Amino acid sequence: MIDPLTSLDAARFGVYVHFPYCLSKCPYCDFASIVARQIPEARYAEAIARELELRIAAVPSLAGRAVESVYFGGGTPSLWDPTHVRRVLDLLRARLWIVPDAEVTLEANPGAADAERFAGYRAAGINRLSIGVQSFQPATLAFLGRSHDGAMAERAYAAARAAGFDNVSLDFIYGVPGQTLDQVREDAVRATGLGADHLSAYALTLDRESLAEEVPLARRLARGEVTLPPDEEVLQMQRTVRDVYRAAGLLRYEISNYARPGRHSRHNAAYWTGGEYLALGTGATGFILEPEGTGGVRYANHRSAERYLVQVEQDSLPVASVETLTARELFSERVAMGLRLSTGIDLQATCRAFGEDYAPRAKVVEALVTGGLAVQDGPRLLLTDRGADVHSAISARLM
Ligand code: SF4
């Protein structure tokens, strides 16, 4: 069974700030990111300030709302000088209400990290760092186009601790062409040896349908120039990571995320449990529930940094798309996301909340439990490890 938690403390409302600039463009990356010789750090902070005002003008109820998490993602936000990060946090504090124990995360790249900079973030109000290690293996890092090496990643981790961060997460990738199971195991062992509070490990995705844009590695894959490890091998890698992390005392609280007790990501938990999030910055995606009813609105900003800047500077919302999600669509998301979590989902209550009929799903639940793919813990349905391996198929059957 994936490690049970009695509850998952998720932020109900968070703010995501996207910083799109990077030192180089990795060939597998489909995040809204861009390489800039001269990063317009002050101009970008000013744009975030303007967008915040525009968002509040469009939805006045946002003003003063309690914010339980703030997340600076990218891109490479650790290229943003701490003075600008502080300015953005001060703006958020002035216009919203960041609760005293809010989780405030910044993503850092090992190639753009040092103790002094980290201390600046700490002083600005960041209380959690998420470092994109991806791997310690030279071949894997080279294939992924990453400019750091394993020693730099370890130094970045040490710098985070030296700067006073008591909540540090490390991110890893497996299922990379050429990567072996032993290398994945070595990465996992080295990661746990560092003693991070939180580890995430995702399989490399180059599936064109799930990418926001075409990336060089996906093109090479389509041309047959590279091949991904077979699915069974990727699954074996996932199980290996799981076993190593668990043996180190980390809880698998989400299919791809592991944490020491109480150190799960409250921000990401908001995404997984239907929480709301205001998103600011290039390519950022936000979600706000409708004031009444069970639907919600998801919006996405322009993915071009320049277009984003120009639009905001003209006092216009930088929106690329707005999607109104129906109760049915939100129900499907809640089922799929809820089943990724070790707290599982109260399916009957979720059906009631979204006006769905539980009866036809009861038989599916029974079959899952009988087949050892799920367990029923009181009202909550939780996937076992075997169930987690086929999460997508199970979600589809319950939607
Ligand atoms: S550092 Fe991250 S955001 Fe930047 S190009 Fe590489 S994968 Fe993309």
User: Which tokens hold the place of 90?
Assistant: 């001060």
User: For residue range 298-344, what is the model confidence (pLDDT) as tens digits?
Assistant: 999 999 999 999 999 999 999 999 999 888 899 999 999 999 999 99
User: For residue range 143-170, what is the model confidence (pLDDT) as tens digits?
Assistant: 999 989 999 999 999 999 999 999 999 9
**Ligand 1 pocket test, candidate residues 109, 134, 147, 176, most atoms within 8 A of CB:** 109
Ligand 1 atom nearest 24 alpha carbon: 5
Helix (H, G, I), strand (E, B) or coil at 49: helix
Q: How far is the CA of 257 from the centre of ligand 1 (A)?
A: 20
What per-residue confidence (pLDDT) applies to 364? Answer: 93
The residue type of 191 is: A
For the chain, which domains are there? 13-272 (3.20.20.70), 328-398 (1.10.10.920)
What per-residue confidence (pLDDT) applies to 274? Answer: 87
Do 384 and 373 contact (CB within 8 A), yes or no?
Answer: yes
Do 282 and 20 contact (CB within 8 A), yes or no?
Answer: yes
- pLDDT of 289 > 90? The answer is no
Mean pLDDT, the chain, integer: 93
- pLDDT of 11 > 90? The answer is no
Q: How far is the CA of 25 from the centre of ligand 1 (A)?
A: 6
In a 10 Å sphere around its CB, with 0-12 CB exposed, 13-18 middle and 19+ buried, how is residue 61 labelled?
Answer: exposed
User: Which tokens hold the place of 395?
Assistant: 């979600």
Q: How far is the CA of 132 from the centre of ligand 1 (A)?
A: 9
User: For residue range 200-248, what is the model confidence (pLDDT) as tens digits?
Assistant: 999 998 877 777 777 899 889 889 999 999 999 999 999 999 999 999 9
Q: How confident is the model at residue 3 (pLDDT cuts 50, 70, 90)?
A: low
Helix (H, G, I), strand (E, B) or coil at 5: coil
Cis peptide before 371 (omega within 30 of 0): no
DSSP-derived letter for residue 229 is: P
In a 10 Å sphere around its CB, with 0-12 CB exposed, 13-18 middle and 19+ buried, how is residue 321 labelled?
Answer: exposed
- pLDDT of 295 > 90? The answer is no
Q: Which residues does 219 contact at the CB level (< 8 Å), separation at least 6?
A: none
- For ligand 1, atom 7, the nearest C-alpha belongs to 29
- For ligand 1, atom 8, the nearest C-alpha belongs to 29
Q: How far is the CA of 134 from the centre of ligand 1 (A)?
A: 11
Q: How far is the CA of 335 from the centre of ligand 1 (A)?
A: 30
- For ligand 1, atom 3, the nearest C-alpha belongs to 75
Q: How confident is the model at residue 5 (pLDDT cuts 50, 70, 90)?
A: low
Ligand 1 atom nearest 33 alpha carbon: 3
How far is the first Cα of the chain from the last one, in angstroms, to the nearest whole number? 22
- For ligand 1, atom 2, the nearest C-alpha belongs to 75
**Ligand 1 pocket test, candidate residues 18, 25, 30, 206, most atoms within 8 A of CB:** 25
**Ligand 1 pocket test, candidate residues 31, 106, 131, 144, most atoms within 8 A of CB:** 31
- For ligand 1, atom 5, the nearest C-alpha belongs to 25
What per-residue confidence (pLDDT) applies to 326? Answer: 87
* Nearest one of 159, 157, 135 to 148, comparing CA atoms: 135
User: For residue range 250-280, what is the model confidence (pLDDT) as tens digits?
Assistant: 999 999 999 999 999 999 999 998 899 999 9
Q: Which residues does 310 contact at the CB level (< 8 Å), separation at least 6?
A: none
**Ligand 1 pocket test, candidate residues 72, 76, 173, 213, most atoms within 8 A of CB:** 76
> What is d(CA 96, CA 110) in angstroms, rounded to the nearest whole number?
31
- pLDDT of 4 > 60? The answer is no
* Nearest one of 79, 17, 87, 19 to 305, comparing CA atoms: 19
Alpha helices in 168-230 (DSSP H): 181-194, 216-222
What per-residue confidence (pLDDT) applies to 1? Answer: 47
- For ligand 1, atom 6, the nearest C-alpha belongs to 26
Q: Which residues, judged by CB distance below 6 Å to any ligand atom, belong to the binding site of ligand 1?
A: 22, 25-26, 29, 31, 33, 74-76, 109
**Ligand 1 pocket test, candidate residues 18, 21, 22, 24, most atoms within 8 A of CB:** 22
> What is d(CA 383, CA 1) in angstroms, rounded to the nearest whole number?
6
Ligand 1 atom nearest 146 alpha carbon: 6
- pLDDT of 296 > 90? The answer is no
DSSP-derived letter for residue 67 is: E
Average pLDDT rounded to a whole number, residues 47-71: 96
> What is d(CA 200, CA 241) in angstroms, rounded to the nearest whole number?
10
Q: How far is the CA of 220 from the centre of ligand 1 (A)?
A: 18
> What is d(CA 169, CA 265) in angstroms, rounded to the nearest whole number?
9
Alpha helices in 266-389 (DSSP H): 266-272, 305-313, 327-338, 347-353, 359-370, 385-389
Q: How confident is the model at residue 19 (pLDDT cuts 50, 70, 90)?
A: very high
Ligand 1 atom nearest 30 alpha carbon: 8
Q: What percent of the chain has pLDDT over 70?
A: 97
In a 10 Å sphere around its CB, with 0-12 CB exposed, 13-18 middle and 19+ buried, how is residue 9 labelled?
Answer: exposed
